[in-house]
């Protein structure tokens, strides 16, 4: 940015000007934030305001799909998206710009670091957070929730791969840094946390995030900072990847809740500052969630086999695997409550590149996340050179492959499935070999063995 004299823009000059703005702010009207409660993009502004001691009021009775369609709102943001910050000098849209504005309202803010290079790094991580993290989470999450782009498995796979790549880079950075820049919370951390928040809350299960332990540590540290917690509330990590839902129609205005005029809304906001609560995706704000129907597998008669006990036994057996884990498995196995299945990839001749084959299997296991409560699986990538064979063994609750798995995990149709006949000792031994990663398997070396548990 150039100053009127043509010299380079200086952070110091701007900060000096902001001292004046800061001193003036007490006699100016307050900032008003237009967004529904629980909007993670609005949280950026609210958290920055907490850190800077700036008063920002959340407009009351904001109704997504209604309030943001009024002519008054469209004057503030022509694209009609939320959030928007109304300032004494006019409206600002784009949540990062709004958060920057609030960060700069305080002259001696620490949110922008203490040097030009800190400032550049803060901007760097904010851009990274928006373009590499938030966009990949959105491309994975929203099609599943029926918003935006339609759900397409290859597009989902690409989004997950992009997200993993970005999280791996973030994880490396955070392995030697408590915060993104310097030794204290900056605006970069606020923006990154809000973006991760949506992911952790709605789709990034523990089994997904455990690959990125430094990101986990960072996220939980951030959301437990008192000033962050005050805005976003208690955070609970997603327990499963949401099932694919059919596309949602845009919200229709409701009879009872007519859009409020800007002035009226503003007046109400001033009367009683609204307290933000735990978030929902903004698009869902206008509808109360329907009670989730019970999974039919939960209605089956109880089984003597406790899946988690088997998973624990599998994970904790380090020696004498045959005698302990495999024997334990058959002692527990309940053919009335569970079934075992072999699967065989139909297109093994396409498995010509090892890492692509491994990614394919990794993607399958990722998408099976929705069945974690009801399944255990082993997937073997077989062969020491291409084309690799992919074969697997699955244990499912119930006597058949659960219908919701067939419906929602598109990989299922890429495999031939055969129920294991446990009265056949040869088949039983094949089960054992697969659980155990026995090598050679059917005469060949294993490139990899992945477990779903």
Ligand X SMILES: N[C@@H](CCC(=O)N[C@@H](CS)C(=O)NCC(=O)O)C(=O)O
Q: How far is the CB of 349 from ligand X (least distance, A)?
A: 43
Residues that bind ligand X (CB under 6 A): 39, 41, 80-83, 94-95, 282
Select 201 or 389, whichever has its Cβ closest to ligand X.
201
Residue 369 is classified by DSSP as: G
Select 50 or 284, whichever has its Cβ closest to ligand X.
284
Q: How far is the CB of 129 from ligand X (least distance, A)?
A: 11
User: Cα separation of 149 and 155, whole Å?
Assistant: 10
Q: How far is the CB of 237 from ligand X (least distance, A)?
A: 21
Closest C-alpha to 435, from 397, 384, 379: 379
Select 69 or 419, whichever has its Cβ closest to ligand X.
69
User: Cα separation of 399 and 300, whole Å?
Assistant: 10
Select 100 or 378, whichever has its Cβ closest to ligand X.
100
Closest C-alpha to 200, from 222, 168, 227: 222
How would DSSP label each residue in 168-202? HHHHHHHTS-SSSSTTS--HHHHHHHHHHHHHHHH
Select 251 or 324, whichever has its Cβ closest to ligand X.
251
User: Cα separation of 395 and 308, whole Å?
Assistant: 12
Buried b (16+ CB within 10 A) or exposed e, 105-132: bbbebbbbbeeeebbebbbebbebbbeb
Q: What is the largest CA-CA distance in the chain?
A: 88
User: Cα separation of 222 and 40, whole Å?
Assistant: 14
| H-assigned helices in 261-334 | 262-271, 307-316, 321, 327-332
Q: How far is the CB of 43 from ligand X (least distance, A)?
A: 11
Select 83 or 182, whichever has its Cβ closest to ligand X.
83
User: Cα separation of 52 and 106, whole Å?
Assistant: 6
Select 122 or 393, whichever has its Cβ closest to ligand X.
122
Select 123 or 437, whichever has its Cβ closest to ligand X.
123
User: If 0-12 CB within 10 Å is exposed, 13-18 middle and 19+ buried, where does residue 421 land?
Assistant: exposed
Q: How far is the CB of 442 from ligand X (least distance, A)?
A: 51
Q: How far is the CB of 181 from ligand X (least distance, A)?
A: 20
Q: Is 6 left (phi over 0), alpha (psi -120 to 50) or beta?
A: left
Contact 402, 297 (CB under 8 A): yes
Select 39 or 357, whichever has its Cβ closest to ligand X.
39
Residue 410 is classified by DSSP as: G
Closest C-alpha to 360, from 405, 414, 404: 414
Select 78 or 301, whichever has its Cβ closest to ligand X.
78
Contacts 24+ apart (CB under 8 A), 415-419: 415/343, 415/344, 415/345, 415/346, 416/343, 416/344, 416/346, 417/341, 417/342, 417/343, 418/341, 418/342, 418/343, 418/344, 419/339, 419/340, 419/341
Q: How far is the CB of 94 from ligand X (least distance, A)?
A: 5
Select 41 or 205, whichever has its Cβ closest to ligand X.
41
Q: How far is the CB of 194 from ligand X (least distance, A)?
A: 10
Q: How far is the CB of 396 from ligand X (least distance, A)?
A: 37
How would DSSP label each residue in 28-59? SPPEEEES-TT-HHHHHHHHHHHHHT--EEEP
Select 99 or 358, whichever has its Cβ closest to ligand X.
99
Q: How far is the CB of 338 from ligand X (least distance, A)?
A: 42
Contact 68, 34 (CB under 8 A): yes
Q: How far is the CB of 81 from ligand X (least distance, A)?
A: 3
Contact 276, 72 (CB under 8 A): no
Q: How far is the CB of 282 from ligand X (least distance, A)?
A: 3
């Amino acid at each position: 940015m150039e100053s009127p004299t043509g010299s380079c823009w200086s952070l110091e000059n701007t900060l000096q000007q902001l001292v004046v703005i800061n001193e003036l702010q007490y006699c100016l009207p307050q900032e008003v934030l237009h967004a529904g409660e629980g909007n993670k993009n609005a949280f950026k502004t609210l958290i920055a305001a907490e850190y800077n001691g700036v008063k920002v009021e959340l407009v009351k009775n904001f109704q997504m799909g209604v309030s943001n369609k009024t002519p008054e709102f469209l004057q503030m943001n022509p694209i009609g998206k939320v959030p928007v910050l109304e300032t004494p000098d006019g409206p600002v849209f784009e949540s990062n710009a709004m958060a920057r504005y609030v960060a700069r309202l305080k002259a001696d803010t620490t949110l922008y670091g203490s040097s030009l290079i800190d400032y550049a790094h803060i901007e760097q991580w904010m851009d990274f957070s928006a373009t590499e993290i938030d966009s990949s989470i959105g491309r994975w999450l929203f099609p599943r929730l029926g918003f935006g782009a339609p759900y397409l498995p290859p597009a989902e796979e690409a989004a997950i791969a992009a997200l993993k790549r970005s999280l791996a880079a973030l994880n490396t950075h955070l392995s030697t840094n408590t915060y993104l820049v310097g030794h204290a919370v900056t605006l970069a951390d606020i923006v990154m946390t809000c973006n991760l928040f949506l992911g952790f809350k709605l789709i990034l299960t523990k089994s997904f995030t455990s690959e990125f332990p430094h990101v986990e540590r960072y996220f939980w540290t951030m959301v437990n900072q008192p000033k962050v917690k005050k805005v976003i509330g208690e955070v609970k990590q997603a327990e499963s990847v949401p099932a694919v839902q059919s596309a949602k129609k845009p919200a229709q205005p409701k009879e009872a809740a007519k859009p409020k005029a800007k002035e009226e809304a503003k007046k109400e906001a001033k009367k009683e500052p609204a307290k933000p609560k735990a978030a929902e995706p903004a698009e869902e704000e206008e509808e109360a969630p329907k009670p989730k129907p019970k999974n039919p597998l939960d209605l089956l008669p109880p089984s003597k086999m406790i899946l988690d006990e088997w998973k624990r036994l599998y994970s904790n057996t380090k020696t004498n695997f045959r005698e302990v884990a495999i024997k334990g498995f058959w002692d527990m196995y309940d053919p009335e409550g569970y079934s075992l299945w072999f699967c065989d990839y139909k297109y093994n001749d396409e498995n010509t590149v090892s890492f692509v084959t491994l990614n394919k299997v990794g993607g399958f296991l990722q998408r099976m996340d929705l069945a974690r409560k009801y399944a255990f699986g082993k997937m073997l990538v077989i062969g020491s050179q291409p084309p690799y064979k992919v074969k697997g063994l699955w244990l499912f609750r119930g006597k058949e492959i659960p219908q919701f798995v067939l419906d929602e995990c598109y990989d299922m149709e890429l495999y031939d499935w055969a129920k294991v006949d446990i009265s056949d000792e040869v088949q039983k031994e094949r089960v054992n070999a697969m659980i155990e990663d026995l090598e050679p398997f059917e005469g060949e070396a294993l490139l990899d063995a992945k477990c779903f548990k």
